[in-house]
Chains A and B, each alone.
Chain A
Amino acid sequence: MFELSGILPRLAFPEGRMYWRPIIPIPLAALLSTVLLVILPRTVGQEATTQGMVVVRGAMIYPISGPPIAHGILVVANGKIVAVGEEGKVSMPAGATILDAHGKVLMPGIVDSHSHIGIAPNPLVADSDDDNEMTGPIEPGLRAMDAIDPGDPNIRMATAGGVTTANILPGSGNVMGGQSAYVKLRGKTVEQMVIPGSIGGMKMANGTNPKNYGTRKQAPMTRMEEAALARAIYEKAQQYKEKWDVYNKAVAAGDKTAKAPDRDHDIEPVVEILEGKRIVHNHTHRADDIMTVLRLSDEFHYRVVVHHGSEACQVADELAKRHVPVSYTMVDSPGGKLETINIDIHCPAILEKAGVKVAFNTDDPITPSRLLLRQAALGVRGGMSEEAALKGLTIYPAEMLDLGNRVGTLEIGKDADFIILSGPPFSVYTHVLETWIEGQKVFDRSNPQDLHYSTGGFSVASRYPSLQAGGN
């Protein structure tokens, strides 16, 4: 019934190509292709990007790592940034594809530190919704990557909003909901999406949502039990780690009789949290719930990011002194549930002033990835500095995913993830024109098919074959 969701996105990766056989003799094809390459310079450029160099010139560049550059140049090779600077001061490599971006704005690809694209896909119906395994409140063994649909139109809609990197998380129905995946928004398999070397984070939640179990007379029914369940799993992980530490120490000392403890694959991701390798992404709204998050992280010494943080500004000093950052979800009005009744566009500004690093997230599908820039713009409306708001879309969320050395700024050696905007980043009239991931263009507003992921109507063609979006 809902095949409409799949058809268009999957056209982007035509499987038929595998069965292509040359019907033109190879030498003729070589000649023909050369002619075509010459008469179709735009195509040449796009082909060249696969391995060659790309230069974007003339744009107002926000490198984030430094002040804006009025007439900037960005040079990309092999998916990495090789130069960035003022026009005239950066050498333009010969043979590079040159994109003119005068009058436009260029900034790093946006990092969404909290998203459910691919795991809560479009259309969001029970058959396809995989973000909450509501059969047990502690599920550290679950991995988001085992449920992410790379063909989900939401992923293309996110690139239409300039998102290039995302933390795709399980939902907030469980106290410990599973491992998140740090991905780039490209590829036809999740393996191609996951950032090499990253292990993802761990989703945790407290407050209202996990209490849903209480309606079935199952634990947790109260916030007390939520904390108790979290404490229990960390204690279990501590014990597990101690046993292995003892064993490894004995082996290292040459003890051949040492018996290896039983492996527990579900607890090992929690051990990674205790070892500082895996960051906890904790859904939490009310100030007292945020304090519970801090209490647990103090007790078990783990790194945590406060997600949503609707009342975070009430405990801004507590967050600041622990250097705990906040990934804030900006919504248009308060409420919808009790714990978000104090959500406020002024909160990120208060956090900024207290010295807390704030990222803006979509919590897609709660807010649309296409409008993640808008989230930060509302932060500015609420009193935040433009600088902090831009960092809140780029380097701060990158740091919250331990990816600050790879994405989030336009610096030499970092991934060539960038977006081209039609105007100032925080204007409602600005559109994302192009989105690039590692030197490859993944969204182009001038392409009518791509446009439908930006404005809407991407599934029209599959549901109404006789109609085209916008036509009648």
Chain B
Amino acid sequence: MRTLRYLGLLLWVAYFAPALYAQKIAVLADHVYTMGSEAQGRPGMVLMSSGKIESVAFGAELQAPVGYQVLRGAYATPGLIDVDTTAGISGAYNIPQDQDQDEATDPNTADVRSLDSFNPNEILLKYVNRYGVTTIQSAPGPRNPIAGRAGIFKTVGPDSAPATADQLAIRSESAMIFNLGDVPKSTYKADHKPPMTRMKTAEIIRHALWEAKAYQEKWEKWKKDGAETSKQPSRDPRLEALLPVVNGALPAIFTVHRADDIVTAIRIGSEFHLKYMLASVTEGYLVREAIRQAGVPCLVGPIMQRPESPETANATYEIAALLQQAGIPIALMTGYEGYVPKNRILLFEAGIAAANGLGLEKALRAVTMDAAQILGIQDRAGSLAAGKDADVALFDGDPFEYTSHVLGVIVSGQVSYLRK
């Protein structure tokens, strides 16, 4: 019995020790990119405790206080934020058992949530963490016109303590995903079910949004008429999920490639006065004036997506720079991949954007501060500043150089990955 109790203690320590250890961490780097308003790239030190950033100091000869685990490197940045990815719900093995990103049984699955598919033990989640990604908006896949709700999660790394999806969630419902273009119209084609055309995809979305408005009016009328239980309208989970979208409380994200699909998204967004953004935006540079006038943020990427399908043939490595230069708020995303590689790596995507017109600092912003602002989580993530979550990535060189290495990653004050 006593042996068992010792074993229990041992297991308890093994399980929780990583979480208790290193509550206080000091990161020292030759180039600290806080992404705040101060000068970037200076030598400095970031102190963290209890999951939050305590302070950021600048100077070449700084000493870490006693009691802090010290990590040193050449470049320190905020943990990277992937604003739209299927990591966590679309597994690496790519077998039916680990593919939970597309509920392709009905073109409208507004009621589903990525939270309910999110697997914190998914190896791709740990893999992207090794490349500095600490926060992701995990979103349903590309197949349904109305695909369901995304959530914003912290990532776990190879050295992280186990966690549940609920513990990792910053926001369990962060956006409603809509998909336009070639993919949704081919999803049900074999079954001779709609949508078979872009017209129908748009109609399915508009119809659902009108229904959501009517649903709301019905409930408001019922409340106004005395809210009698016997007369209560029947509940509809899909329309309820769409209510915050038509009310502007939940952002809508339209995944779009072709220029005409981008304009269709803007048409729907303005018709229903949605709070919305565009994702992928492959041909966005061809209609950037329309995007800028609509005031829509763009989740751009993946930058290295294949220009092999007709709707992505005009993909350009310069897309992020072209949109940014047009005055459009941008952040970078990795989206969904159906084959090899199963997941794009945000750090690599940002590197290609940096090398193709965006430059190091703006590319970093697009995966940190600007990403946090677009997602509305800038109070917690996206910059190195006192009071923010202690999410840090540390590199041995320019973060975007092919031959640099990630030395360490810290999520919420815990070391999730250390380069061996």
Cα distance A469–B285 when bound, in Å? 8
> B306 touching A5 by the CB < 8 A rule?
no
Q: How far is the CB of B155 from chain A (nearest CB, A)?
A: 14
> B306 touching A365 by the CB < 8 A rule?
yes
| A336-B352 in contact given A122-B308, A456-B318 (Cβ < 8 Å) | no
Q: Which of B94, B286, B310 contacts A123 (CB 8 A)?
A: B310
Chain A, interface size: which category?
Answer: 35 or more
> A335 touching B317 by the CB < 8 A rule?
no
Q: How far is the CB of A376 from chain B (nearest CB, A)?
A: 9
Tell me if B234 counts as interface (CB < 8 A to partner A): no
Tell me if A470 counts as interface (CB < 8 A to partner B): yes
Tell me if A192 counts as interface (CB < 8 A to partner B): no
Closest to B343 in A: A333
- List the 5 closest pairs (A to B, CB-CB), nearest first: A456-B316, A335-B92, A336-B340, A377-B402, A336-B342
Give me 23 A-to-B residue pairs in the complex whose CB atoms sit less than 8 angstroms apart, sorted by A's number: A122-B308, A331-B341, A332-B341, A332-B343, A333-B128, A334-B92, A334-B127, A338-B93, A341-B92, A341-B93, A381-B402, A426-B402, A426-B403, A427-B401, A427-B402, A456-B316, A463-B313, A463-B314, A464-B286, A467-B286, A469-B286, A469-B314, A470-B322
Cα distance A455–B123 when bound, in Å? 32
> A2 touching B318 by the CB < 8 A rule?
no
B contacts with A, residue count (CB < 8 A): 50
Chain A residues with CB below 8 A from B404, complex form: 381
Contact with B along A432-472 (1 / 0, CB 8 A): 00000000000000000000100111111001100101101
Q: Which of A59-67, A240-248, A349-357, A366-374 is found at the contact surface with chain B?
A: A366-374
Cα distance A5–B94 when bound, in Å? 31
> B310 touching A340 by the CB < 8 A rule?
no
> A456 touching B343 by the CB < 8 A rule?
no
Most buried by A among B91, B93, B405: B93
Q: Which of A123, A428, A455, A460 contacts B354 (CB 8 A)?
A: A428
Closest to A381 in B: B403
> B309 touching A123 by the CB < 8 A rule?
yes
> B402 touching A335 by the CB < 8 A rule?
no
Beta-carbon contacts under 8 Å, B61-88 to A:
none
Tell me if B307 counts as interface (CB < 8 A to partner A): yes
| A428-B316 in contact given A123-B310, A335-B342 (Cβ < 8 Å) | no
Tell me if B190 counts as interface (CB < 8 A to partner A): no
Cα distance A457–B309 when bound, in Å? 13
Chain A residues with CB below 8 A from B263, complex form: none
Tell me if B400 counts as interface (CB < 8 A to partner A): yes
Chain B residues with CB below 8 A from A365, complex form: 306, 308
Tell me if B149 counts as interface (CB < 8 A to partner A): no
Tell me if A253 counts as interface (CB < 8 A to partner B): no
> A335 touching B308 by the CB < 8 A rule?
no
Tell me if A429 counts as interface (CB < 8 A to partner B): yes
Chain B residues with CB below 8 A from A467, complex form: 286
Tell me if B337 counts as interface (CB < 8 A to partner A): yes
> B348 touching A332 by the CB < 8 A rule?
yes
Tell me if B1 counts as interface (CB < 8 A to partner A): no
Cα distance A405–B94 when bound, in Å? 42
Tell me if B204 counts as interface (CB < 8 A to partner A): no
Besides A336-B342, A459-B313, 10 more A-B contacts (Cβ < 8 Å) are A1-B310, A5-B313, A122-B308, A333-B341, A338-B94, A366-B340, A428-B354, A458-B314, A463-B314, A472-B326
Cα distance A336–B338 when bound, in Å? 7
Closest to A310 in B: B340
Chain B residues with CB below 8 A from A377, complex form: 402-403
Cα distance A336–B289 when bound, in Å? 37
> B286 touching A336 by the CB < 8 A rule?
no
Tell me if A4 counts as interface (CB < 8 A to partner B): yes
Most buried by A among B326, B356, B403: B403
> A337 touching B306 by the CB < 8 A rule?
no
Cα distance A456–B92 when bound, in Å? 28
Chain A residues with CB below 8 A from B288, complex form: 472
> B402 touching A428 by the CB < 8 A rule?
yes
Tell me if A124 counts as interface (CB < 8 A to partner B): yes
> B317 touching A456 by the CB < 8 A rule?
yes
Chain B residues with CB below 8 A from A469, complex form: 285-286, 314, 316
Tell me if A380 counts as interface (CB < 8 A to partner B): yes
> B314 touching A335 by the CB < 8 A rule?
no
Chain A residues with CB below 8 A from B123, complex form: 334-335
| A123-B402 in contact given A335-B94, A338-B95 (Cβ < 8 Å) | no
> B318 touching A470 by the CB < 8 A rule?
yes
> B337 touching A336 by the CB < 8 A rule?
yes
Cα distance A337–B345 when bound, in Å? 17
Closest to B259 in A: A464
Closest to B124 in A: A333
> A368 touching B306 by the CB < 8 A rule?
yes
Tell me if A12 counts as interface (CB < 8 A to partner B): no
Chain A residues with CB below 8 A from B306, complex form: 124, 365, 368
Q: Which of B317, B340, B354 contacts A340 (CB 8 A)?
A: B340
Closest to B404 in A: A381
Q: Which of A122, A378, A458, A459 contacts B402 (CB 8 A)?
A: A378
Closest to A5 in B: B313
Chain A residues with CB below 8 A from B127, complex form: 333-334
Chain A residues with CB below 8 A from B341, complex form: 331-333, 335-336
Tell me if B185 counts as interface (CB < 8 A to partner A): no
Contact with A along B115-145 (1 / 0, CB 8 A): 0000000011001100000000000000000
Tell me if A125 counts as interface (CB < 8 A to partner B): yes
Beta-carbon contacts under 8 Å, A362-411 to B:
365-366, 368, 371, 374, 377-378, 380-381
> B259 touching A333 by the CB < 8 A rule?
no
Q: How far is the CB of A470 from chain B (nearest CB, A)?
A: 7
Closest to B291 in A: A472
Chain A residues with CB below 8 A from B95, complex form: 338
Q: How far is the CB of B216 from chain A (nearest CB, A)?
A: 38
Tell me if B355 counts as interface (CB < 8 A to partner A): yes
Chain B residues with CB below 8 A from A459, complex form: 313-314
Q: How far is the CB of B27 from chain A (nearest CB, A)?
A: 22
Chain A residues with CB below 8 A from B287, complex form: 472
Tell me if B351 counts as interface (CB < 8 A to partner A): yes
Closest to A366 in B: B340
> B339 touching A428 by the CB < 8 A rule?
no
Chain A residues with CB below 8 A from B401, complex form: 427-429
Q: How far is the CB of A53 from chain B (nearest CB, A)?
A: 34
Cα distance A340–B123 when bound, in Å? 13
| A331-B92 in contact given A2-B310, A464-B259 (Cβ < 8 Å) | no
